[in-house]
Structure 1
Amino acid sequence: MESLFSAMMIVLLLVSFSCLTSSEARSSNNGNITVKWDLMNWTPDGYVAVVTAYNYQKQRSVPGWTMSWRWTKKEVIWSMVGAQTTEQGDCSKFKFNIPHSCMRKPIVVDLLPGTPYNQQIANCCKNGILKPGLESSFQLAVGNAGTSSKTARMPVNFTFTAPKQQYICGPTKNVRPTRFITADKRRMTRAMMTWNITCVFHKAT
């Protein structure tokens, strides 16, 4: 009887462990992709922003991400560092300085490793591979936009996608400006404004 009881206890323990492991596997990817726009400074017709995507998922890597949004005014992207748009769009009304993108709904992709240094920014250029717990960043100069916290408008209708992965993005939210510490760790600076977008994994395709 003792041996039978011991065998039953072992089976129960194995089943419990299996259920626990299965539960942990299901919850291991709880988290989200958070996209943060930090407006770093104002320009004569807009602003310069650093956009960072954080992968807060515990185990799910994001290979080959793309990011898109819709401008609410007539914004253009004058230049980008660390990423690029897939299309320039119709910039025919610009006679001299030609924007990087005039698309109302630009689609942004990461750059490849080995991109020239003057086209890079910290945490960029990973061919769109966003591993768990890490981040990917790019910088863009936006024109035809507001030039103050009262006139700058948040982009809307965000999408964040990757091959075989679908995400649902919430609305853009104005949050407390990000604070940064200088390299010597003796001074704090802050963004002019910060916008957050949260994208939750929906399903694999």
Structure 2
Amino acid sequence: MGIILILIFFSLMSSISPSCKYLRFLSLSYSVCLFFSSINLVENTDGFDSLDPNGNITITWDFLSNNEDTYDVQVSIHNFQLIRNLDRPGWRLGWAWKSDEAIWKMWGAEALQQGNCSRFKGNNQPHCCEKKPVIIDLMPGAPYDLQATNCCKGGVLTSLTQGPTKSVAAFRMNFNKASDNNSENNMPESFTLGVPGYTCGKPIQVPPSRSTKNGRRWEQSLETWNVPCVYSQFRASPSPKCCVSLSAFYSSTIIPCPDCSCSCQSQPGAKCVKPGEKPTLLQLPIDTIEEPPKLVQCSAHMCPVRVHWHIKQSYKDYWRTKITITNLNFVKNYSQWNLVVEHPNLQNVTQIFSFNYKALKYKSVNDTGLFWGIQNYNDILLSNVHTEMLLHKDKGIFNFKEGWAFPRKIYFNGDECVMPPPNVYPRLPNSGHIVTAESSIVAIFLLSLLTMFF
């Protein structure tokens, strides 16, 4: 099957005019790569991400107590992904009850709908009677009597690298037992995370969880079940979500994002806002609980996020580059964003300005790093943020030729960005001479001497 698809791919390429081949090649290459990724996910329920081979989101269901007619449970959502977070509107956890269970009380979260509770008589009504409830996180600042440990983050979960305490959410609830009591177990089924791209597996019973209070007394749950959820970029979006532009101090040429990187303005149904204009109220989404459709600034690439890599300066033993991330999406602020860069010189990072940084040592060569914003400073991508990075020149390896100083790959929030092709990277001057800061000072000094004598 794979060979047939490859033959079809190259037959399509041969029928395209030379002027359009590159753009079509990018689009077709992306689709083919993501298609094979989706096949891999179907065949392997664990999924696979070369940047984060063991990453997933795990839903943990702990039975805390077995009462006469009800159960008390704690549900936790652990983001074990190293590079991928959940930004707003965040997770929307769903499942299907096996019988006529109903949620009576909740702490740390709430159901979107109460449903039909007419079978319960009296003034005391359950919190939710839906057969397939959808649960959302409470917002920060929720009343204290409604809170639970690790709740109230508005559904936002950071990656595990950005902060272990911010990568977990939890809530507690009390629900009634099934009236028929014929189920093999009391676990619900058909879990969903409510975030595009994620698919959840079946509940798996694991050893009971243990927790401690005040660091002294250990408590153990009655039963513990885990539900793994894996991510597919192809399932999340059929097109890319970001692109990369390039420039360098030694060239006057700025290489923009490739045209139609994420979509084209000419596509049917394409919506965008012209530069300098603001979207109308009719264009903005009203329901902030749902994942909003993108509304981007009009551009040749039509991407919600653009990353610009600029080679800024060259010194004797170091070189400096600037990374700028621009949000062109009018409906998302990308809370707790992150950026992954693959570059061979990242093993010689000397200093990072304005961003947090951590090397991702998932393979033998340390050439991948994770960048993210500083809390309460630039951790929300309102318009654009930038950092400068100072790297040591590794003698024998470092050079500005053939685009070596530009990144190999860039990922925004775990999704790969579209890069310009290497053959259009900013080129060195014909002389091949790089004017460093030291050589510039010497040149100015010599010119001053000549001026004095002549």
TM-score past 0.5 threshold: yes
Aligned to 1:19: none
Equivalent of residue 71 in structure 2, options 47, 50, 68: 47
Q: Indicate the structure (1 or 2) with the bigger Cα radius of gyration.
A: 2
Corresponding residue for residue 80 of structure 1: 106
**1:126 corresponds to:** 153
1:37-63 Cα deviation digits (max 9, x unpaired): 111112221201010000001111112
Q: Identify the residue that residue 354 of structure 2 maps to in structure 1.
A: none
Aligned mates of 1:145, 1:48 — CA distance in 2: 14
**Alpha-carbon shift at residue 129 of structure 1 (Å):** 0.2
**2:175 is matched with which residue?**
142
Q: Which amino acid aligns with 2:114?
A: Q
Aligned to 2:86: 62
What is the DSSP-based 3-state SS (H/G/I as helix, E as strand, rest coil) of the residue aligned with 2:157? Answer: coil
* TM-score for both structures, normalised by structure 2: 0.37
Q: Deviations over 1:132-156 (max 9, x none)?
A: 121000111011348x9x9741110
Q: Alignment partner for residue 187 of structure 2, among 148, 154, 170? A: 154
Letter paired with 1:84: E
Residues 71 and 177, structure 2, Cα contact 8 Å, conserved in 1: no
Does residue 198 of structure 1 match 2:225? no
RMSD: 2.0
Deviation at 1:188, TM superposition (A): 1.6
| Residue of structure 2 equivalent to 1:104 | 131
Give the counterpart of 1:174 among 205, 220, 223: 205
Higher relative contact order (CA 8 A, sep 6+): 1
**1:85-116 Cα shifts (integer Å, max 9, x gaps):** 11111001111221000000000100100000
Structure 2 counterpart of 1:31: 55
After TM superposition, give the deviation of residue 74 of structure 1 in Å: 1.0
Return the structure number with greater strand share: 1
SS of residue paired to 2:98: coil
Cα distance between partner residues in 1 of 2:172 and 2:137 = 11
Letter in 2 for 1:57: Q
**Contact 1:69–1:158 (Cα < 8 Å) also in 2:** yes
Instruction: State the one-letter code of the partner of 1:129.
Output: V
2:143 partner letter: P
Report the 3-state secondary structure (helix = DSSP H, G, I; strand = E; otherwise coil) of the residue aligned with 1:74: coil
Q: Report the alpha carbon displacement of residue 29 of structure 1 after superposing the two structures with TM.
A: 7.5
Contact 1:110 1:124 (8 Å CA) reproduced = yes
Cα distance in 1 for residues equivalent to 2:113 and 2:68: 25
- Aligned equivalents of 1:28, 1:62: Cα separation in 2: 16
Change (3 A) 1:173 1:154: same
Q: 1:161 Cα shift? A: 2.2
1:191 partner amino acid: S
Q: TM-score, normalised by structure 1?
A: 0.80
Question: In structure 1, what is the equivalent of residue 97 of structure 2?
Answer: 71
Q: In 2, distance between residues paired with 1:196 and 1:26?
A: 24
Instruction: Percent identity, please.
Output: 39
Conserved? CA contact 1:33–1:54, under 8 Å: yes
1:145 and 1:152 in contact (8 A); partners too: no
User: Which one is further off, 88-97 or 119-128?
Assistant: 88-97
Structure 1, unpaired ranges of 5+: 1-24
The aligned amino acid for 1:74 is D
